[in-house]
Structures are given as C-alpha cells and as structure tokens.
Amino acid sequence: MKILIVSDTHGHESNLEKVLERVSPIDQLIHLGDVEGHEDYIEALAECPAHIVSGNNDFFSDLPREEEFWLGKYHVLITHGHYYGVSVGTERLKEEAVSRNIDIAMYGHTHRPEIDIDDEVTVLNPGSISYPRQWGRKPSYLIMEIDRDGEAHFTINYLEN
C-alpha cells in the first residue's frame, strides 16, 4: 500500500499535481490541513480515497479537526497540529497519541518535514508542498509504504524548484 502525505498547500496545488504525476498510482492521499477551500479539487486530483483535515487557515470549513483511522495494522491520528502547539514541539501531540493508543500521529502546520520514530509513537510531518520553511526551502512530501509483511516505511521527498 502506498500513501501520499502532504500538508499546507494553501490553495496552490501546482506542486501537488507534479508530485502526483511523479508518484502515482497511490492507494490513499492524506492532507494535513490548510487546503483553503480546495478539498474537492484535491480529492478529484488524487483519484483515490483521501483523508483531509482542517488547518488554521481553513476558515468556515466543514473538514474535521482531526481524524482517526487504520492503515493496515497501524492506528493513525491525523491533525493539522495547531491545537497541540506543534510550533513549539510535539510533546502534547505525542501524549495525546499515546493516551489514545495511536501508532502513528501525523501533523502539518510548521511547514517543516519530520520523521520521529520512538517506542511509543511515530510522529510524521510532510512539511509543506507549497510554502516550505525548512533550511533550503524545498517543497516536501512524505510517502508511507506498507510492505507485504504489513510493516510501514516512511520517506521524506523533495521537489526540485
């Protein structure tokens, strides 16, 4: 199973279009917020099941604030992250995930990619595909693959400008 994880497109999907051309076919798309009203377009573009949560810039959105679901054997929590103070660290998000027996917590908001794997919970952030803020400022996204043995693998990928 191949899952594309993105965040913070902020109404600018040209890089998402490029990524989908590069990595398709995918089995699921996860968008971690700040779609700014473009969720229908993103879902149509993905051509697969999509999970999308609202971000701090998704005003008047009907998107859920967060979502829990299963990917294979993994219990997953997706959120934009601003309700957990991720701009100053992921401790609150990790505590919440552990209290809910979450295996993988995904968030956006910071526009900086991260893979943090420990014994209790894996925390993922794909960064921003439209407005990156990490050193080098390359648009980033995450690919999660679940292999034939049911094990998850994660890679941060970058678009060249």
| pLDDT for residue 109 is more than 70 | yes
Query: What is the residue extent of each domain of the chain?
Result: 2-158
Superfamily of chain region 2-158: Metallo-dependent phosphatases (3.60.21.10)
In sequence order, what are the residues at sequence separation of 6 or more whose Cβ sits closer than 8 angstroms to the Cβ of residue 29?
3, 4, 5, 6, 42, 43, 46, 48, 49, 50, 51
Asked whether the predicted pLDDT for residue 152 surpasses 80, the reply is: yes
For residue 161, pLDDT over 90 is answered with no
Question: What global pTM score does this model have?
Answer: 0.97
pLDDT at 38 over 90: yes
CA 65 – CA 139 distance, rounded (Å): 24
Phi, psi of 42 (to 5 degrees): -65, -45
pLDDT at site 36: 97
Summarize the confidence of residues 129-135 as an average pLDDT: 94
Q: Specify the pLDDT at position 160.
A: 80
Mean pLDDT score, 111-133: 97
Q: What is the pLDDT of residues 45-94, one digit of tens each?
A: 999 999 999 999 999 999 999 999 999 999 999 999 999 999 999 999 99
Which range (31-35, 100-104, 134-138) has the least confidence?
A: 134-138
